[in-house]
Amino acid sequence: MEERGTPDGDPARSLEQGPEGPETPIQVVLRVRPMSAAELRRGEQSALHCSGTRTLQVSPPGGGPDVAFRFGAVLDGARTQEDVFQACRVRRLGELALRGFSCTVFTFGQTGSGKTYTLTGPPPQGEGMPVSPSLAGIMQRTFAWLLERVQHLGAPVTLRASYLEIYNEQVHDLLSLGSPRPLPVRWNKSRGFYVEQLRVVEFGSLEALMELLQMGLSRRRSSAHTLNQASSRSHALLTLYISRPASQKVPPVDPGEPPVGGKLCFVDLAGSEKVAATGSRGELMVEANNINRSLLALGHCISLLLDPQRKQSHIPFRDSKLTKLLADSLGGRGVTLMVACVSPSAQCLPETLSTLRYASRAQRVTTRPQGPKPSGMKQPQNVEAEILQLREENRCLRLQLDQMGSKGFQGARMAWAQRNLYAMLQEFMLENERLRKEVSQLHSSRDLARGEQRVLAQQVHELQRRLLSVCTLHQPAPAPAPPCPCLVMPAAPCRALPPLCSCPCCHLCPVCLAPLARWACPQQECHVPQVLDPETPRGMPLSSQPPPWAPPCSPGSAKIPGERNHSDWTQTGVLAEMLTGEEVVPSAPPLPSGSPNAPPILRGAARIPNLAQRLEALRHQIGSSLRRGQSQPPPSEGTSGPGRGFPPC
């Protein structure tokens, strides 16, 4: 059999050692209510068995191993209200409260599990009808004991009470004289969390206290649902403030604050509920959600309080009003008793197991109960605690400082990065400006090159025209007009250029833009007779003489331009540039290439291979034409067919 939970010691015993005793675990008592009439009617079976006074055995209905839970006390359904009061040792808590400790009793469990019954007995049967003394709950019994105890003390004791409920996460004063309104929960160093403007009523008799209790119970919200006809829809906290003359030496911090002394608080938590099981709708469902949420927050705090390391740091008590108001009882200086209530029905087993686990965890939570602070000199234990507190504060401050420091470092890095970015931006702007200037220079170079190109193209044209006129001197009769050679076969391999037209109209081939042959020119009638210059060798026409802008012949060469051979023309860079001028790429910058002494117009010609081929072809054609003009007869008329009329390549 698996066993969960650990037996607890008696907090009162350890607290008797001094005002601030050792760490004390939360006391947990388990109460199993009897089967209700409705559960018996439905024939539900019990899944819980109490074995001994401190162990509860859970038998799953479908079989399987039993699970045992061990608590400070386990009470089955046969136990009376008085048994519960005795088992819970509430009197000891009352004694501690009288000595200035802060004590809390709270009930916890599923809806309809008997929490309210355990604390205050069954709901009153009618208006003003007191609960039968035998059914009175822990609270009434404690009240009776306390007032009797105070009477027997023989010393003046001031008793005061407050009663509030947390409904839908709002705090309402159940003892307020006016209509209840939400009250704020505040915190200060001396009091911890407290409810502002909460009415604290002084009472001197049991009857007066019972009246206050009845007043609060009647105001507390309750509704009927499937599992409970009088289900509490709020968490209720009734607090008794006990002050004795000895502790009244310490003045209250602010007006209206209860005098420093012991406290005994009874907390009746609303029950956790599965909305599907209770059938809650509308407002009931909203209430159920709020109840479950705050219980979850409480369970979370309890789980965190189990870890001693986490306990020193942050517990999210601020997550709900309930955890705020229970902060001192759970994790502070209080003495706490939890009464876990469960239903025995197997139908409720999932919720019962949840309650049992919750209670098991709670009883491993420890508090460090602290009594009233004596006036005057600080106790050594207090000094030690203060030192620890200051150390912790110091550590937190250092941490914050480090974080701020790292933020400062990040700020410096940001500033550095911004400065760098600004410098980069400046650099980019300068480079941009430089590039703009360069582009502008390139544009003007391109425009210059285009102008030169136009001039050169005209010069080429003129030169070609003159060359053609040389050829026509040796063409006796016009041949039938065949198409331009480029339309018949590729120009490059063809070395036969027909006699070119020398008329002033200068028609060009529409495809290759070469001057048309004389017999291909549509205006042959415009042919002008060539005037031969007697001074020129071999009767070269004047028009074919080199123009003034033509490059000089190579040194030592006696040849005239008309007699230049292939290699002569190859070396004539001017002509090459003339022919390739139209291919100048405007966007190409005029980068220096070749010999630095070379004229600027020659640059770039060598980079255009197709033009070089065309130039080569033209050179051959010109050379061939010149040779043919001197040695071959013109083709006979009437021949036809492709290539007819041309000499063989």
Ligand X SMILES: Nc1ncnc2c1ncn2[C@@H]1O[C@H](COP(=O)(O)OP(=O)(O)OP(=O)(O)O)[C@@H](O)[C@H]1O
Query: DSSP assignment, residue 593?
Result: -
Separation of alpha carbons 48 and 162, rounded Å:
37
How far apart CA 208 and CA 212 sit, in angstroms, is: 6
Residue 263 Cβ vs ligand X, minimum distance, rounded to whole Å: 23
CB of 320 to ligand X, least distance (A): 17
Q: Within 10 A of 583 (CB to CB), how many other CB atoms are there?
A: 14
CB of 325 to ligand X, least distance (A): 18
Q: How far apart are alpha carbons 547 and 455 in whole angstroms?
A: 14
Q: Which stretch binds ligand X (CB under 6 A): 32-40, 356-364, 438-446, 594-602?
A: 32-40
Q: Which residue has the tokens 């003034």?
A: 548
Q: Does 230 bind ligand X (CB under 6 A)?
A: yes
Q: Closest CB to ligand X among 160 and 235?
A: 235
Assess 298 for contact with ligand X (CB under 6 A).
Answer: no
Residue 270 lies near ligand X (rule: CB under 6 A): yes
Paired tokens of 420 = 């760098």
Q: What residue type is assigned to position 319 of the chain?
A: D
**341 contacts ligand X (rule: CB under 6 A):** yes
Nearer to ligand X, 107 or 247 (CB): 107
Q: Which of 24, 104, 228, 329 binds ligand X (CB under 6 A)?
A: 228
Tokens, residue 329: 């009882």
For ligand X, give the closer residue by CB, 112 or 515. 112
Q: With contacts defined by CB under 6 A, how many residues of the chain interact with ligand X?
A: 19
Q: How far is the CB of 338 from ligand X (least distance, A)?
A: 14
CA 266 to chain centroid, in Å, comes to 45
* 117 vs 167, beta carbon nearer ligand X: 117
Stretch of residues binding ligand X (CB under 6 A), selected from 112-120, 330-338, 495-503, 539-547 = 112-120
Contact between 33 and ligand X by CB under 6 A: the answer reads yes
Q: Which residue is nearest to ligand X (CB)?
A: 271
Q: What is the CA radius of gyration of the chain?
A: 58
Contact segment (CB under 6 A) with ligand X among 196-204, 229-237, 490-498, 543-551 equals: 229-237
Least distance to ligand X, CB of residue 395, Å: 42
Paired with 186 in beta bridges are: 194
- Report if residue 109 touches ligand X, rule: CB under 6 A: yes
Q: Pick from 36, 140, 355, 502: which binds ligand X (CB under 6 A)?
A: 36
For residues 113 and 356, give the distance between their C-alpha atoms in angstroms, rounded to a whole number.
12
Tell me how far apart the alpha carbons of residues 460 and 547 are, in angstroms, rounded to a whole number: 11
CB 280 within 8 A of CB 225: yes
Nearer to ligand X, 274 or 368 (CB): 274
294 binds ligand X (CB under 6 A): no
Q: Would you count residue 453 as binding ligand X (CB under 6 A)?
A: no
The binding site for ATP consists of: 109-116
CB of 318 to ligand X, least distance (A): 25
As measured in angstroms, the least distance from the Cβ of 228 to ligand X is: 4
CB 499 within 8 A of CB 471: yes
Q: Looking at beta carbons only, is 33 or 465 nearer to ligand X? A: 33
Residues 271/110, Cβ–Cβ less than 8 Å: yes
According to the binding rule CB under 6 A, does residue 231 interact with ligand X?
Answer: yes
Interface with ligand X by CB under 6 A: which range of 108-116, 176-184, 382-390, 454-462?
108-116
Instruction: List the structure tokens of 197.
Output: 């403007």
- How far does CA 535 lie from the centroid of its chain? 96
Q: Binding string to ligand X for residues 120 to 159, with x set by CB under 6 A, is what? A: --x-------------------------------------
Q: Looking at this protein, which amino acid is placed at residue 499?
A: P
Nearer to ligand X, 230 or 550 (CB): 230
One of 271, 334, 478, 541 touching ligand X (CB under 6 A)? 271
> Which class for 492: exposed (0-12), middle (13-18), buried (19 or more C-beta within 10 A)?
middle
Task: State which residue, 281 or 454, has the beta carbon closest to ligand X.
Answer: 281
| Pair type for strands 27-32 and 73-75 | parallel
Rounded CA separation 578/416 (Å)? 60
| Shortest separation between residue 358's beta carbon and ligand X, angstroms | 14
Contact between 200 and 160 under an 8 Å Cβ cutoff? The reply is yes
From the CB of 89, what's the least distance to ligand X, in Å?
19
Please pick, from the candidates 24, 55, 116, 336, the single residue that binds ligand X as defined by CB under 6 A: 116
Question: What angle in degrees, to the nearest 10, is found between the helix axes of 573-580 and 609-631?
Answer: 120
**Shortest reach from residue 115's CB to ligand X, in Å:** 4
Helix 380-472 vs helix 573-580: angle between axes, to the nearest 10 degrees?
110
DSSP-assigned letters across all residues of 87-147: HTTHHHHHHHHHTT-EEEEEEEEBTTSSHHHHHH-SPPSSTT-PPPGGG--HHHHHHHHHH
Note the residues at the interface with ligand X (CB under 6 A). 33-34, 36, 109, 111-117, 122, 228, 230-232, 270-271, 341
